[in-house]
């Protein structure tokens, strides 16, 4: 085990032992020479001569005793450490630049890890978890799966370990005197077991608890809810809590850090799927094969590929299609890797995260170019030292190694700082994402994968910024360097490299700013975009009579009186109910529809979304009526079933013909079309027009409704009046959050906002870093060229000419950078894809303003060195 001892010796050198051993030897020699008759002094000298240079003996013995390279490394580290401490300004600036570069990368890695690849903390085996939706042949529809279909697949599949069904829901939670809106989920009974989540108190759900209409009013609450609202009381198990109007028995408390299985939201409670009717205003979907509401996950059996599972489930879907043609015609099943899950925040954030990754890579490059520049400046300053070291016999490899060690130390320090930065930035996505009225969870994950990725980034960065200076430096021409009085040897070559670095920096930051400009422009366009109705002075809230225990007939009376009272509030122009608020995160009703005079291909079924609306809804929201009439109070359960279609639907199925008077069939019932509404946006501003229709709320009744109010008053003024009027009708009914439609719409543009914030922030950082780099290069060009400038001055050049000279050099670099950056941006802005709205990827305004910003920053960076050049004292400079 010699190497082990050598390794040990490497860390604990036994210098004292050598000393003593060698001294003993020399003493022994001296004694012998004395015995042979030499004087003590001569004997001492002879012994020393005989033994040779003690230091060489020791070095050679050390070579035998330990791993030389480790010792060298230790020396390099100590030496580099001293160097870094000797110029703290340089070190801090370099570490600062790299920390930003590496930290930004680590943060984005952690977001990608925590949002796309391991989005559900504590959930076991997320690499085998895939999301499930149904498909409709001939369309790009991605709805959920019906409960009966889900159960049939669970029974028949061979490739799946667990079918985990759920659907996001919400309720107003009142504990004590505080009420708040919380998000939760209706889940299959196997939910907690299949996810590997063990409640810290009580139990999860038991087999069979997801069966039977409202049969099992039990709930598992989140750790956060338990701690904040129940004071962490262990006796909470067995207590009842009102959820969606029905007392539920609390049977379990989920562990801390488990937020459920929906990217973006932190769930506070879970109920078995059997409670679905209670949470969906009485609509019973558990036995309805056409109600596709399950947004579920399946866990593949170990070793099963997603393709095999897809084939397995598709085969089952085909059998279901044959067995239940009425409901399942044209329906298939599609599996999605977790990071492509279509029904939660993952897909919305995906392009943003990809852009973020590109942006932080660019920032890292800029930071590396900066540090590379700084190292070159310093190498220039250390030229004498390095030349001397080379001259007295240091190997070039040794010098390169030493410079690289310095680089590794810088990036290791920056890497550590970067991870701290990433830890702070973990939650940043939540802060730049518009609030949605319930607790959110969008957090990065700092696990070993992120650490490994960051270490790789550190290593790559080191090579980028340290290798070039190291190689350049080691190429010093010894003879020339020793001859030269000062400077000028590393000079021309390194200036070329440094200029290249500056061009890279300028071009990258120019490209980033162009991207930021495009996103800002598109954000402005989104802000001004029309949702297809007049969102100004429109206020929205919701009133839930179902959970307050109203039966339909009482609810209808309440709703009519409510509209009358609200319309009597001063400042209110009109008010109307609807099942869904436009731009809400909840889902519209959707159904297969047969259309008068349209025969679909035999294996397809047109499926559309629709909204159940009260009288005056179109007028209140400001959706123009193109033909026919709006619903009135006369369109109720006693009269002819009617519908209003939107222009998109009318144009698609009755092109060039009058739509009013035609019919469409919904759930077996023929509806007479009485009006055509202008096409509007229903989910978000960026969607493409899709067929949509409206039915009267009275003919498709629900007691849980949204209330839209068009008013001249502000929200702040309207909200108390609304609450007052509702409380006059029933003191136990409260409206949910009262917000403007504008805010409701803004909540759907989260992805754009996150992307804009990110690009603007990083684009700004990039520009500052690039300006620092340009400043550094210009400053040192001026410093190196002191003699030349002095000579020009001595020959009669004025300050203005000198300034112009320096500025011109800087602007040549800047111009090159801008040209390259613009060229790159022309190629890459397409990647912004759907985040761009209302601006082309080559929008000239964004391009020109970014170029101007870069130009201004460059001029600023050059002015100080230029001004310093004009202050050169020719005498001093020429004397050197």
Which stretches of the chain bind other proteins, using CB under 8 A? 1-3, 5-6, 17-18, 20-22, 24-25, 27-29, 32, 50-53, 56-57, 60-61, 63-65
Nearer to other proteins, 29 or 298 (CB): 29
Nearer to other proteins, 3 or 448 (CB): 3
Q: Phi-psi category of 576—alpha, beta or left, where left has phi over 0 and alpha has psi -120 to 50? A: beta
Helix or strand (DSSP H, E) at 356:
helix 345-381
Distance CA(271)–CA(214), nearest Å, equals 10
From the list 770, 77, 104, 82, the residue with the least C-alpha distance to 414 is 104
Nearer to other proteins, 59 or 564 (CB): 59
CB of 391 vs other proteins, minimal distance in Å: 24
Q: Which long-range contacts (CB under 8 A, 24 or more apart) does 821-826 make?
A: 821/506, 821/507, 821/508, 821/509, 821/510, 821/511, 821/514, 821/854, 822/510, 822/511, 822/514, 822/847, 822/851, 824/507, 824/511, 825/510, 825/511, 825/514, 825/515, 825/850
Mapped onto helix, strand or coil, the DSSP state of residue 532 is: coil
- Quote the tokens at residue 515: 């991207």
CB of 37 vs other proteins, minimal distance in Å: 17
From the list 540, 389, 464, the residue with the least C-alpha distance to 83 is 389
CB of 2 vs other proteins, minimal distance in Å: 3
DSSP 580: S
Nearer to other proteins, 64 or 311 (CB): 64
3-state secondary structure 269-281: EEEEHHHHHHHCC
From the list 571, 497, 507, the residue with the least C-alpha distance to 539 is 571
CB of 39 vs other proteins, minimal distance in Å: 21
Burial 801-837 (b: 16+ CB within 10 A, else e): ebbebbbebbeebbbbbbebbbebbeeebeebeebbb
Distance CA(756)–CA(521), nearest Å, equals 10
What separation in angstroms does the CA of 540 have from each of 188, 536, 543, 728, 749? 33, 11, 10, 20, 18
Distance CA(723)–CA(716), nearest Å, equals 12
CB of 60 vs other proteins, minimal distance in Å: 4
CB of 48 vs other proteins, minimal distance in Å: 11
Mapped onto helix, strand or coil, the DSSP state of residue 821 is: helix
Nearer to other proteins, 2 or 303 (CB): 2
CB of 390 vs other proteins, minimal distance in Å: 24
Q: What is the DSSP string of 789-803?
A: HHHHHHTT--HHHHH
Helix or strand (DSSP H, E) at 696:
strand 692-696
End-to-end alpha-carbon separation of the chain, Å? Answer: 60
What separation in angstroms does the CA of 701 have from each of 665, 698, 704, 715, 732? 17, 5, 9, 28, 21
108-113-114-118 Cα dihedral, nearest 10 degrees: 170
Per the CB < 8 A criterion, the answer to whether 348 and 156 are in contact is: no
Nearer to other proteins, 34 or 206 (CB): 34
Nearer to other proteins, 58 or 142 (CB): 58
Burial tier of 640 (Cβ tally within 10 Å: 0-12, 13-18, 19+): exposed
Per the CB < 8 A criterion, the answer to whether 269 and 221 are in contact is: yes
Helix or strand (DSSP H, E) at 322:
helix 306-323
Per the CB < 8 A criterion, the answer to whether 638 and 699 are in contact is: no
Nearer to other proteins, 20 or 385 (CB): 20
Nearer to other proteins, 55 or 486 (CB): 55
Helix or strand (DSSP H, E) at 398:
helix 396-425
Nearer to other proteins, 24 or 431 (CB): 24
Backbone angles phi, psi at 482, to 5 degrees: -70, -30
Distance CA(504)–CA(495), nearest Å, equals 14
Neighbours of 215 (CB within 10 A): 13
Burial 488-506 (b: 16+ CB within 10 A, else e): ebbbeebbebbbebbbbbb
From the list 150, 160, 353, 360, the residue with the least C-alpha distance to 263 is 353
- Quote the tokens at residue 314: 């598709």
Give residues with Cβ within 8 angstroms of 658, minimum separation 6: 627
Distance CA(24)–CA(378), nearest Å, equals 47
CB of 193 vs other proteins, minimal distance in Å: 58
CB of 784 vs other proteins, minimal distance in Å: 44
Residue with tokens 């225990």: 549
């Amino acid at each position: 085990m010699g190497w082990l001892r050598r390794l040990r010796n490497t860390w604990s050198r036994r210098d004292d032992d050598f000393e003593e051993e060698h001294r003993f030897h020399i003493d022994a020699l001296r004694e012998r020479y004395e015995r042979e008759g030499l004087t003590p002094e001569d004997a001492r000298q002879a012994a020393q001569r005989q033994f040779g240079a003690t230091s060489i003996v020791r070095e050679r013995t050390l070579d035998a005793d330990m791993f030389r390279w480790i010792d060298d490394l230790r020396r390099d580290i100590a030496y580099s450490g001293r160097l870094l401490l000797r110029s703290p300004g340089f070190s801090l600036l370099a570490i600062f630049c790299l920390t930003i570069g590496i930290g930004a990368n680590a943060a984005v890695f952690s977001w990608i890890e925590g949002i796309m690849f391991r989005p559900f903390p504590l959930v076991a085996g997320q690499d085998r978890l895939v999301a499930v939706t149904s498909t409709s042949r001939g369309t790009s529809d991605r709805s959920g799966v019906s409960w009966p279909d889900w159960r049939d697949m669970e029974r028949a599949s061979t490739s799946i370990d667990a079918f985990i069904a759920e659907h996001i829901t919400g309720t107003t939670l009142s504990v004590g005197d505080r009420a708040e809106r919380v998000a939760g989920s209706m889940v299959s009974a196997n939910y907690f077991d299949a996810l590997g989540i063990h409640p810290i108190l009580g139990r999860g759900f038991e087999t069979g608890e997801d069966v039977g209409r409202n049969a099992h009013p039990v709930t598992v609450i989140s750790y956060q809810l338990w701690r904040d609202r129940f004071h962490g009381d262990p006796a909470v198990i067995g207590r009842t809590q009102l959820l969606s109007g029905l007392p539920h028995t609390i049977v379990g408390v989920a562990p801390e850090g488990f937020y459920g299985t929906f990217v973006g939201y932190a769930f506070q409670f879970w109920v078995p799927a059997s409670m679905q009717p209670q949470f969906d205003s009485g609509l019973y979907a558990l036995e309805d094969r056409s109600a596709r509401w399950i947004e579920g996950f399946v866990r593949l059996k170990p070793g099963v590929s997603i393709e095999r599972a897809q084939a397995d489930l598709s085969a089952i879907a085909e059998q279901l299609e044959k067995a239940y043609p009425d409901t399942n015609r044209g329906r298939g099943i599609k599996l999605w890797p977790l990071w492509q899950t279509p029904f939660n925040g993952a897909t919305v954030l995906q392009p943003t995260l990809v852009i973020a990754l590109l942006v932080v890579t660019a920032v890292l490059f800029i930071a590396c170019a900066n540090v590379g520049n700084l190292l070159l400046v310093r190498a220039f300053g250390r030229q004498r030292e390095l030349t001397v070291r080379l001259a007295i016999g240091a190997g070039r490899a040794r010098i390169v190694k030493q410079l690289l060690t310095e680089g590794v130390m810088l990036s290791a320090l920056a890497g550590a700082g970067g991870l701290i930065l990433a830890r702070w930035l973990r939650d940043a996505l939540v802060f730049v994402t518009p609030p949605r009225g319930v607790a959110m969870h969008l957090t990065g994950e700092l696990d070993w994968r992120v650490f490994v990725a960051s270490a790789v980034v550190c290593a790559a960065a080191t090579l980028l910024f340290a290798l070039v200076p190291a190689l350049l430096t080691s190429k010093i021409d010894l003879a020339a360097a020793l001859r030269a009085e000062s400077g000028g040897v590393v000079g021309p070559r390194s200036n070329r490299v440094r200029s290249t670095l500056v061009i890279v920096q300028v071009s990258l930051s120019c490209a980033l700013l162009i991207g930021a400009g495009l996103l800002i422009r598109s954000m402005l366009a989104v802000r001004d975009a029309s949702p297809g109705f007049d969102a100004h002075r429109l206020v929205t809230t919701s009133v839930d009579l179902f959970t307050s225990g109203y039966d339909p007939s009482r609810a209808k009376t309440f709703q009519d009186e409510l509209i009358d009272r609200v319309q009597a509030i001063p400042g209110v122009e009109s008010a109307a109910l609807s099942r869904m608020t436009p731009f809400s995160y909840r889902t519209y009703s959707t159904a297969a529809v047969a259309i008068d005079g349209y025969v679909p291909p035999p294996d397809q079924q047109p499926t559309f979304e629709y909204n159940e609306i009260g009288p005056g809804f179109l007028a209140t929201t400001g959706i123009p009526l193109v033909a026919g009439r709006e619903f009135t109070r006369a369109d109720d359960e006693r009269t002819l079933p009617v519908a209003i279609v939107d222009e998109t639907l009318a144009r698609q199925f009755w092109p060039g013909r009058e739509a009013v008077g035609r019919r469409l069939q919904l759930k077996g019932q023929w509806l007479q079309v009485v009006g055509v509404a202008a096409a509007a946006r229903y989910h978000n501003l960026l969607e493409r027009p899709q067929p949509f229709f409206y039915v009267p709320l009275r003919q498709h009744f629900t007691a849980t409704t949204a209330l839209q109010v068009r008013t001249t008053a502000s929200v702040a003024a309207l909200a108390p009046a609304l609450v007052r009027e509702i409380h006059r009708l029933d003191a136990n009914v409260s409206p949910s959050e009262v917000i403007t439609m504008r805010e409701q719409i803004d909540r759907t543009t989260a992805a754009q906002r996150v992307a804009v914030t990110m690009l603007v922030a990083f684009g700004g950082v990039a520009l500052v870093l690039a300006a620092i780099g340009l400043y550094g290069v210009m400053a040192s060009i001026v410093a190196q060229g002191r003699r030349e400038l002095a000579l020009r001055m001595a020959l009669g050049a004025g300050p203005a000419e000198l300034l112009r000279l320096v500025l011109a050099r800087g602007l040549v670099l800047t111009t090159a950078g801008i040209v390259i950056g613009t060229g790159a941006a022309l190629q890459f802005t397409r990647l912004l894809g759907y985040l761009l709205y209302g601006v082309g990827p080559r929008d000239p305004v964004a391009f020109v303003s970014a170029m101007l910003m870069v130009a201004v920053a460059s001029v600023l960076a050059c002015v100080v060195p230029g001004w310093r050049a004009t202050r050169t004292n020719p005498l001093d400079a020429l004397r050197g």
